[in-house]
């Protein structure tokens, strides 16, 4: 249905439906497609001098500003003919602006002292802001006025994390970087590896670029500071005796009272000091404890403290790359090659190279080194936990940049002065040059790895074409697998590889319908699913590409269909896929026992060497289909185990279901409750109670 204010059957309504259907075909949700379609038609209506539709998405801009930001104006397409008019209506005030394309997706987020002047610069001199393609993508401009440059910086970083704009510098795979977490909310805190950072009552250190180095660091810290490795808020086992870690000097056994809460907290303070780079403080503390125990003639404990001190000093000496007068600093260097970039952060603490972080960046706009470095610094240090007093960068980075604002923010968080500047000479300059060489080397290695992966995919497809005797490369491969447990919750998966790589947008799931519950028959299940696949191809082939019902994955004709199984599954598939085989689709099966490849009408299996890329490709496809199927099966099985008789009742979600159970005590009592009692349930509107009573009695429950 078109939005309010437009009659059905008009030209605008037909265009609205056409744009909406096209976007849904591209994978957009119904609500998103409707909003973008409304915005597109509104733009054309504005050009024609017509009144904009009411309820447009542009009139309820859905972005979340920072808590301190003051939203002074929200964008609207009403009466705005084009981007040029939007630019003229922008305020000459500090704030953040967002560029959206015709699909409504945010493609760039920026900040400025004057929103109007900065946005104008993108169109008058696009090369100074990176890619010249950015102005061509802009269909709509949104802005957020703030009171200070600091608020603008923080709000910009929030938007970049939220929208991941195409033309902003972004950390590649930024969700997967590891952290070290300390559970300070527990009496005996744990120190553990994590990739999440959402608990306010926990201390986090990172992000780190190498999970292997994080685990090595945790292993070293466990030897020196003897913190517990057991999981859960309370230490210990049900047996009440110390675990093996205590006997191999990896834990002080707080679970049985061998270490008091205060002593254990001292160890945790040492861990936090180490991760914060306060190495001199750790050395002094260990040395003080060693002499204290020696003075008390507790020579055994004094020996333990001496060994810890020696381990720390040995580690620091191996990592000491500058003299102690260098102090603490970060050397940050970025190398750029087209749309790829790499950033290196060398963290020097008390003259010791405490860590080296390597981050790959997405540089779609093609920014130069200075701009890429500035964007990286803003993103990295906006959430960094360890802030040094000095950050060393290349000389050209500071020219005309907004790093002064970042320095003030970091100074507030560090509660001390923070300086961001270039290094002209000495050990700081040498450290920056080392970081620059490492950035260029990492970028070259990444390019070599990407090229090698591409080469391996080509070799695998060539080998598979030769092994199966195909006329052309098997560009599209589909694989099917069945998953069930004793015949219950039987499901199937379809995974797609294009060009030797997964195409997850084309993955599909099936529920096996024809088998009776509790009856396990993989052959029949496979035949049913493949018949439905062939029927879907025949159906989708007749639909227009602009039809909202069209499924691009089912409409595509694969080169090869792989069935997980042996001769039985293959026979079921050959019969079900007769129409697709007539169109040139090759159907094979892959048996797991010794990785035999079965072909139709060929009695003996095809045995490929285990080190050949073609077999390894088939194994990856088969394993992905198995993973996808078993994940779907477990989801259905888990949902069935938690089903309630109250599920599906109108107007009753999880919260109201809990309110009903709390009030009546059981689902049966809910079903037999009179209308007056349902209307009186706390948290349940009286209207919903009446409708629920009518529904239960209408269905005869």
Task: Say how far apart CA 264 and CA 530 lie, in whole Å.
Answer: 61
* DSSP per-residue codes, 494-526: EEEEETTEE-GGG-EEEE--SSPTT---HHHHH
pLDDT digits (tens, 9 = 90+) for 401-460: 677 888 888 888 888 888 888 887 788 888 888 899 999 998 888 888 888 888 889 999
* Residues pairing with 142 in the sheet: 98
- pLDDT digit string, tens, across residues 76-101: 333 334 777 888 888 888 888 889 88
In this predicted structure, what is the pLDDT of residue 32?
Answer: 66
Q: Kindly indicate the confidence band of residue 475, based on its pLDDT and cuts at 50, 70 and 90.
A: very high
Weakest mean pLDDT among 16-25, 551-560, 674-683 = 16-25
CA–CA gap between residue 261 and residue 216 (Å, rounded) = 26
At residue 318, the pLDDT reads 56
CB-count exposure of residue 119 (10 Å: 0-12, 13-18, 19+): buried
- Band of residue 75 on the pLDDT scale cut at 50, 70, 90: very low
At 351-382, the pLDDT tens digits run: 777 778 888 888 888 888 888 888 888 888 87
Residue 68 has pLDDT above 60, yes or no: no
pLDDT for 64 equals 36
* pLDDT per residue as tens digits for the range 505-543: 999 999 988 887 778 888 989 999 999 999 999 999 888
Q: Kindly state the helix (H) or strand (E) to which residue 306 belongs, with its residue range.
A: helix 299-319
Show the CA angle centred on residue 19, arms to residues 14 and 21, nearest 5°: 95
Residue 651's pLDDT is 78
**Cβ neighbour number for residue 38 with a 10 Å cutoff:** 26
**Domains parsed from the chain with CATH numbers:** 11-58 (no CATH), 61-168 (3.40.1440.10), 179-319 (no CATH), 324-444 (3.30.420.10), 476-634 (3.30.420.340), 654-698 (1.10.150.20)
Distance CA 13, CA 1 (A): 8
pLDDT for the residue 488? 83
Rounded to an integer, what distance in angstroms lies between the CA atom of residue 518 and that of residue 49?
65
pLDDT tens digits for range 297-352? 888 888 888 888 887 777 666 555 555 567 788 999 999 988 888 999 988 887 77
pLDDT in tens, 639-683: 776 666 777 777 788 888 888 888 888 888 888 888 888 888 888
Residue 3, pLDDT > 60, answer no
> What is the per-residue pLDDT across 168-206, written as a single tens digit (0 to 9) for each?
887 765 556 788 899 988 888 999 998 887 777 888 887
Picking from 196, 161, 164, the residue whose alpha carbon sits closest to that of residue 177 is: 196
Q: pTM to 2 decimals? A: 0.58
Q: What is the pLDDT of residue 620?
A: 93
């Amino acid at each position: 249905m078109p939005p309010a204010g437009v009659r059905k059957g008009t030209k605008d309504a037909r265009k609205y439906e056409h744009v909406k259907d096209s976007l849904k075909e591209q994978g957009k949700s119904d609500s998103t497609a409707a909003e973008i379609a409304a915005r597109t038609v509104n733009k054309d209506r504005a050009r024609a001098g017509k009144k904009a539709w009411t309820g447009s998405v542009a009139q309820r801009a859905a972005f979340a500003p920072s808590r301190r930001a003051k939203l002074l104006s929200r964008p609207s397409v009403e009466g705005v003919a084009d981007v040029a008019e939007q630019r003229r209506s922008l305020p000459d005030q500090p704030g953040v602006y967002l560029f959206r394309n015709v699909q409504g997706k945010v493609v760039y987020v920026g900040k400025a002292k004057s929103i109007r002047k900065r946005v104008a610069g993108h169109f008058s001199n696009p090369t100074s802001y990176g890619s010249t393609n950015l102005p061509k993508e802009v269909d709509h401009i949104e802005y957020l006025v703030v009171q200070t440059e600091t608020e603008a910086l923080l709000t910009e970083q929030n938007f970049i994390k939220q929208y991941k704009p195409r033309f902003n510098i972004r950390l590649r795979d930024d969700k997967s970087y590891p952290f070290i977490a300390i559970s300070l909310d527990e009496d005996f805190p744990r120190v553990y590896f994590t990739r999440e950072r959402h608990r306010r009552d926990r201390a986090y250190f990172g992000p780190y670029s190498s999970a292997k180095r994080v685990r090595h660091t945790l292993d070293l810290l466990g030897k020196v500071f003897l913190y517990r490795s057991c999981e859960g808020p309370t230490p210990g086992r049900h047996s009440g005796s110390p675990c093996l870690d205590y006997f191999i000097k990896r834990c002080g056994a707080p679970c049985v009272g061998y270490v008091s809460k205060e002593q254990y907290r001292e160890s945790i303070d040492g861990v936090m000091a180490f991760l914060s780079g306060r190495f001199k403080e750790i050395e002094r503390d260990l040395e003080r404890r060693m002499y204290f125990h020696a003075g008390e003639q507790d020579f055994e404990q004094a020996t333990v403290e001496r060994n810890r001190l020696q381990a720390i000093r040995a580690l620091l000496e191996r990592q000491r790359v500058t003299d102690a007068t260098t102090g603490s600093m970060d050397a940050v260097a970025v190398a750029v090659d087209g749309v790829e970039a790499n950033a290196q952060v060398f963290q020097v603490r008390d003259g010791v190279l405490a860590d080296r972080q390597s981050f790959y960046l997405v540089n779609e706009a093609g920014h130069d080194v200075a701009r890429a470095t500035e964007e990286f610094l803003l993103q990295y240090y906006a959430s960094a936990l360890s802030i040094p007093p000095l950050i060393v960068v290349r000389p050209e980075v500071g020219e005309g940049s907004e790093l002064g604002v970042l320095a003030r923010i970091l100074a507030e968080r560090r509660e001390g002065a923070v300086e961001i500047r270039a290094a002209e000479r000495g050990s700081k300059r040498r450290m920056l040059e080392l970081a620059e060489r490492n950035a260029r080397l990492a970028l070259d290695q990444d390019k070599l790895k990407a090229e090698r992966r591409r080469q391996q995919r080509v070799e695998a497809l060539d080998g598979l074409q030769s092994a199966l005797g195909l006329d052309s490369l098997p560009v599209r491969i589909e694989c099917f697998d069945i998953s069930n447990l004793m015949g219950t919750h039987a499901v199937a998966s379809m995974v797609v590889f294009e060009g030797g790589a997964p195409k997850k947008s084309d993955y599909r799931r099936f529920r096996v319908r024809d088998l009776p519950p509790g009856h396990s028959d993989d052959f029949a299940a496979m035949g049913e699913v493949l018949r439905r696949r062939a029927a879907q191809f025949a159906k989708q082939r007749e639909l227009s590409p602009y039809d909202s019902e069209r499924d691009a994955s089912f409409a595509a004709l694969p080169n090869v269909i792989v069935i997980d199984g042996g001769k039985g599954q293959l026979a079921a598939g050959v019969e079900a896929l007769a129409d697709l085989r007539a169109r040139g689709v090759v159907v094979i099966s892959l048996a797991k026992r010794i990785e035999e490849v079965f072909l139709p009408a060929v009695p003996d299996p095809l045995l490929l060497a285990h080190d050949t890329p073609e077999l390894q490709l088939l194994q990856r496809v088969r394993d992905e289909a198995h993973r996808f199927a078993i994940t779907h099966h477990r989801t259905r099985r888990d949902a069935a185990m938690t089903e309630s008789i109250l599920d599906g009742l109108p107007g009753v979600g999880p919260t109201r279901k809990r309110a009903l159970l709390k009030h009546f005590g059981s689902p049966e009592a809910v079903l037999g409750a009179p209308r007056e009692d349902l209307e009186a349930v706390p948290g349940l509107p009286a209207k919903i109670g009446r409708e629920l009573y009518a529904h239960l009695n209408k269905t005869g429950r």
